Amino acid sequence: MRPTIRPADVESWGVPLKPAQELAAEIDQASRRYPGPLDPRTQERLWLRLRALLLTNPNARWQFAAHLALYHLAYEGRRQEDGPGPAWVPSKAELHSSNIGRMMAERRLTSFEDFRRWSVDRRDDYWSTMIRMLGIVFRTKPTRILAEPGDPRHPEWLVGAQLNIAESCFKAAPNKTAIIFALEGSNAIRKMTYGQLHRLSSRIANGLDALGLRRGERIALFLPMTPEAVATYIGIVLSGRCVVGIADAAAPPEFQKRVRIADAHAVFTVDSYLRDGKVHDIYSKVIEADGPQAVVISRTGEKTRTARNDIAWTDFLSDRDTYDAVRGRPSDHTNILFSSGTTKDPKAIPWTQTTPIKSAADAYLHQDVRPSDVLAWPTSFGWMMGPWLTYASLVNQATMALYVGATTTRAFGEFVARARVTMLGVVPKLVRSWKTDGAMEGLDWHRIRVFSSTAEPSTPEEMLYLMFLGGYRPIVEYCGGTEIGGGYITGTVVQPCAPSMFTTPAFGLDLEILDGGRPAARGEVFLVPPSIGLSAELLNYDNDEEYYDNVPRGLHGEVLRRHGDQIERLGGGYYRHLGRIDDMININGVKTSSEEIRSVLKNEFVYDSKPIAVDIDRSGQHRLVVYAVPRDPRLLGSDELRAQLLREFQRAIKENLNPLLAHVEDVVLVSELPQAGPGKTRTMKELRSDYAARTARA
């Protein structure tokens, strides 16, 4: 029997007394419409009714505690085989109007699974269709989509074709807005049309020719995501050269290492930019690292003073604003991106002319991107989501919304509203900050129709909160990698959305879950190649050794590709991401993931946490250590808080997970979790080294 919601309960959620009494009565009335045990569909209907009550009640709309409580009320007693309770369910109109729905109708496929199976079983047909749907521009069309027979580890895509993938970014009308841009500290919104972007990209391509750089030369981008950065990215590709993406947050030694690995012969950078109220110098890091010749953009728009033989942006730009794109082969490199590289040199991963097709196709189908959309996803060209966002937006003739500054603040949320963003991408860490500070509550985000989340596993409560901010729109959980060019497991807008859950392998790419080499509902994920987007080479490592060596065969003898993630297949067609296989924890013979333990470590004093297993006494027996970020930084040195958290973490694990895991040896208080990349916490192996160094100093 469902619990009764009393006025006192509603009042405890932050609703004033009289409105609390009225809302409690409405909740009771809604619950009475569904007496007795509820089947899964009836639970969904109850939640949608309760959700509507909250969204239309001015006293409860922005009280997340009320939303969370009623979500749990609606799905009370839900059976495990039915899967998590969806917080959003597509309407028939939304199903039919979606890109997937229209493609299914075109192919006369009546079920989602039939559509997915077609994309996997007929991969050449699938990619041929997507190339047509996306309007990919060729100078010479391919004679075949996929060469047969072929090695799935080294497939030949678009046989005989010649193209420059940057040309596919300019199919929209020249007067259509390509980029909307804002800076921290300014209320001004700047717009750049497709025509203006094309002309600026052409001026950059001509400027590169004037510098005397050879075709195929590698050129680094070391700057935040601005319209000039996008134009530079495209201009480098237009000119037949290759972008080297380096995150602007990188320290000089990390910048130097990546320049060396990629053999970059020039770098585009910015003198400085404003974030969190602080001026961050970037060009000075290039000089400190003795980087290659730099083209330096000014933050203020005034001409930059340069050192060495470096060039100011205004002097570099050519007056010629047209350019005949350099055609190339599908396998030509267009971009070098790096893995995190915290324990060894980062993997240098080439994107070819075909990789952006994967990015744009994923966006078209999974994020349902249309020409009318405005896409915002805080990122940079040092992370794969920078080029992903560029191609996802421009190839699909949509608009990019870029913001340089602190994305944790309300100013960013106001930009999202003013830019009329319709697809907002996040990393879970960002949502965690919004939830802690309440910075985005009360904003008008009604134009958002899709959220998407990537980088690390999210938690259901955080993702329900994100949906709450937007008035309940679906979240497309999106997990993949730089070496994939997009996602391998994701969500869609045609399937019900349960917070933090995935719903399908990505189209055109299948996967298998193995435990000890055998098929399992929970275990390590392996991909079934080939797919456009999957890397076939690395600059500084052996691609086959990294992804294929010592990998078991698939269920039907297929070649499988290692990816390194753990996932679990749940009831109701859902999947849950359990983090990296490197983060597997084995305590007292009980195996679980760091993310699974992390999900139960909720505490009012803690902003975030990361559990690791440490062999403290070198006995071979691991013990649990938790890194924790206090909400109040003044408590970083508090032994009292450490002791309190140790007790409460043990209790939370015992009550919500497994008593055999509930032996927390230590709590380490840190100002933030060590990062391995945008939105990504370092792996357990790296944190073990950090912990060993800390204990050695103690």
Cβ neighbours for 186, distance < 8 A, ≥ 6 positions apart: none
Calpha distance 569→40 (Å, rounded): 18
68 and 191 share one domain: no
Exposed/middle/buried for 419, CB within 10 Å: 0-12, 13-18, 19+? buried
SS3 160: coil
pLDDT score for 554: 92
541 and 665 share one domain: no
pTM flag (> 0.85):
yes
pLDDT score for 343: 47
480: nearest Cα among 491, 468, 469: 491
pLDDT score for 342: 44
615 and 555 share one domain: no
Domain boundary among 78, 105, 136: 78
Indicate whether 105 belongs to any domain. Answer: no
Indicate whether 149 belongs to any domain. Answer: no
519 and 386 share one domain: yes
614 and 524 share one domain: no
Could you list the mean pLDDT of each consecutive 10-residue stretch along the chain, which spans 698 residues?
Answer: 85 96 95 89 96 97 98 95 98 97 95 97 97 98 92 96 98 98 95 98 98 96 98 98 95 94 97 93 96 93 83 96 98 93 76 98 98 97 96 98 97 98 96 95 98 92 97 98 97 98 97 94 96 97 96 93 95 94 80 84 88 82 89 92 93 86 90 78 82 82
Strands (E), 48-150: 144-146
Give the CATH number for residue 235: 3.40.50.12780
Domain boundary among 563, 597, 618: 563
Cβ neighbours for 676, distance < 8 A, ≥ 6 positions apart: 340, 342, 682, 683, 686
Asked if 610 contacts 681 with a C-beta cutoff of 8 angstroms, the reply is yes
Evaluate the omega torsion of the peptide bond into residue 529 and state whether it is cis, within 30 degrees of 0: no
Asked if 439 contacts 408 with a C-beta cutoff of 8 angstroms, the reply is yes
315 and 422 share one domain: yes
Indicate whether 427 belongs to any domain. Answer: yes
259 and 372 share one domain: yes
428 and 367 share one domain: yes
Indicate whether 98 belongs to any domain. Answer: no
Torsion angle in degrees (nearest 10) through CA of 590, 592, 594, 598: -90
Q: How would you classify residue 16: left for phi > 0, otherwise alpha for psi between -120 and 50, otherwise beta?
A: beta
Asked if 401 contacts 447 with a C-beta cutoff of 8 angstroms, the reply is no
Indicate whether 127 belongs to any domain. Answer: no
In DSSP terms, which residues pair with 659 in a beta bridge?
none
386 and 527 share one domain: yes
Indicate whether 91 belongs to any domain. Answer: no
- Two tokens, residue 510: 């299948």
Domain that holds residue 58: 7-78
537 and 611 share one domain: no
Calpha distance 201→192 (Å, rounded): 12
Indicate whether 55 belongs to any domain. Answer: yes
How many domains does the chain fold into? 3
Strands (E), 320-413: 333-338, 348-352, 374-376, 399-404
In DSSP terms, which residues pair with 191 in a beta bridge?
180
Strands (E), 561-679: 561-569, 575-580, 584-587, 590-593, 606-614, 623-630, 664-669, 675-677
Indicate whether 254 belongs to any domain. Answer: yes
In DSSP terms, which residues pair with 180 in a beta bridge?
191, 401
639 and 501 share one domain: no
Provide the 8-state DSSP code for 535.
Answer: -
pLDDT score for 477: 98
Give the CATH number for residue 685: 3.30.300.30
Domain boundary among 78, 107, 122: 78
Calpha distance 103→293 (Å, rounded): 48
62 and 14 share one domain: yes
